[in-house]
Amino acid sequence: MSAARSPGRQGLLVARIPGVFALLAGCSGPQSMIDPAGPAAQAVAALWWWMAGFSAIVLALVCAIWLYAMRRAPRGRTPQQERRIASRWIIGGGIVLPMTSIIVLLAFGIPIGQRLLPGDTGPEPLRIEAIAHQWWWEIRYPGVEESFVNEFRLPVDRPVDVHASSRDVIHSFWIPSLGGKIDAIPGRIHVIRLEATKAGRLRGACAEFCGLEHARMTLDVHAMPTDEFDRWLGERQGTVRP
């Protein structure tokens, strides 16, 4: 996976991130969430850079105040002045600053989260089942009898609903460059919507610790151009039963 792509068509305003971050992300591997290959991961990566920048400023300010306060010469103040300064600091820094940050963050964050959910709008999503086992993934496609081991193919530019379930312990289905993760829990089926916007090889992993070989429970992800994927799926759907 090479250089990060420019903000996509679904990119929010905040997604138009400076190129320097794209360079940073460019040195990452096939399982990176800051080298996004789909709108969900793209939105979250942009969110991350904004939050990181803001946090860095807050942290630097707090440290600067601390260091300056340690060094500067003390000055005389009346108790009234002291009280005024104190309540200004506590109310400004302790209440106003966090509350404003939280409101801004939620205002951006909740809509992004909403968009990552399976919704009713848009094109009909492709349904793919991901069944977790200790320590491998069984991937199933509609109308295809055979199942695939640790191999996950999806078409580009078409939403995919991954139906994650487990045959034994709790696992978690995760392709970082496409989007968030969803736990595969015995007795339940959870759905996560993913979409790839560029073709290529990606990598996924089990994110929830699932025992001895948890580290080896990875997933080869192949985002394919739509026609190529349709041909591949059609062949599988039309082939004889094993």
Partner 1 sequence: MTTAHVESPDRASLEAVWANPRGWRWASSVNHSALGLRFMVTGLFFFLIAGVLAMLLRAQLARPEAEFMGPAAYNQAFTMHGTMMMFLFAVPMLEGLAVYLIPKMLGARDLAFPRLSAFGYWCYLFGGLIITASLLFDLAPDTGWFMYTPLSSDVYSPGVNADFWLLGITFAEIAAVAAGVELIVSILRMRAPGMSLDRMPLFGWYILVTALMIVIGFPPLILGSILLELERAAGMPFFDVARGGDPLLWQHLFWLFGHPEVYIIFLPAAGIVSTVLPVFARRPLVGYRWAVIAVVTTGFISFGLWVHHMFTVGIPHLALAFFSAASMLIAVPTGIQLFAWLATLWLGRPVPRLPMLWLFGFVVIFVAGGLTGVMLALVPFNWQVHDTHFVVAHMHYVLVGGMLFPLIAGLYYWMPHFSGRMPSDRLGRWGFWLTFIGFNGTFLIMHWTGLLGMPRRVHTYAAGMGWDLPNLLSSIFGFVMAAGIVVVLIDYLLHARRGERAPANPWRADTLEWAMPMPPPPFNFAVLPQVESRHPLWQGMPEASGDAGMADGQPTALARRLMHARHGRRETPGVDPVSGLAREIIMLPGSSWLPLLAALGLAGVCLGLLSKSWLVAVAALLASVGLLLRWSWENGLAMDTMEAASQAAGLPLHPRTFDGPGRWGMGFTLLADSALYLSLVFGWLYLWTAAPHWIGPEQPPLSLAALVAIGVLVAFSALQQGRIVSSLRRARDMPGDTSGDARALARQAGIVLLAGLLASGGLLAVLATAPLEPTRNAHDAVMFVMLVYLLSHMGLGCLLSILQVLRVRRRLVGRHAPYELAVLAPWWRFTAGAVWIGIAALVLAPMGFEGLR
Positions 138 through 157 that interact with partner 1 (CB under 8 A): none
Using CB under 8 A, pick the residue from 30, 129, 133, 236 that binds partner 1.
30
Task: Kindly tell me which of 168 and 227 has the beta carbon lying closer to partner 1.
Answer: 168
Is 109 one of the binding residues for partner 1 (CB under 8 A)? yes
Only segment of 108-116, 193-201, 222-230, 232-240 that touches partner 1 (CB under 8 A): 108-116
Q: For residues 49-68, which are near partner 1 according to CB under 8 A?
A: 51, 55, 58-59, 62-63, 65-67
Using CB under 8 A, pick the residue from 186, 234, 235, 237 that binds partner 1.
186
Q: For residues 66-105, which are near partner 1 according to CB under 8 A?
A: 66-67, 69-70, 74, 77, 82, 85-87, 89-90, 92-95, 97-99, 101-102, 105
Q: For residues 200-239, which are near partner 1 according to CB under 8 A?
A: 203, 205-215, 218
Only segment of 15-23, 138-146, 184-192, 193-201 that touches partner 1 (CB under 8 A): 184-192
Is 20 one of the binding residues for partner 1 (CB under 8 A)? no
Is 195 one of the binding residues for partner 1 (CB under 8 A)? no
C-alpha dist (Å) from residue 126 to 72, 132, 141: 64, 19, 9
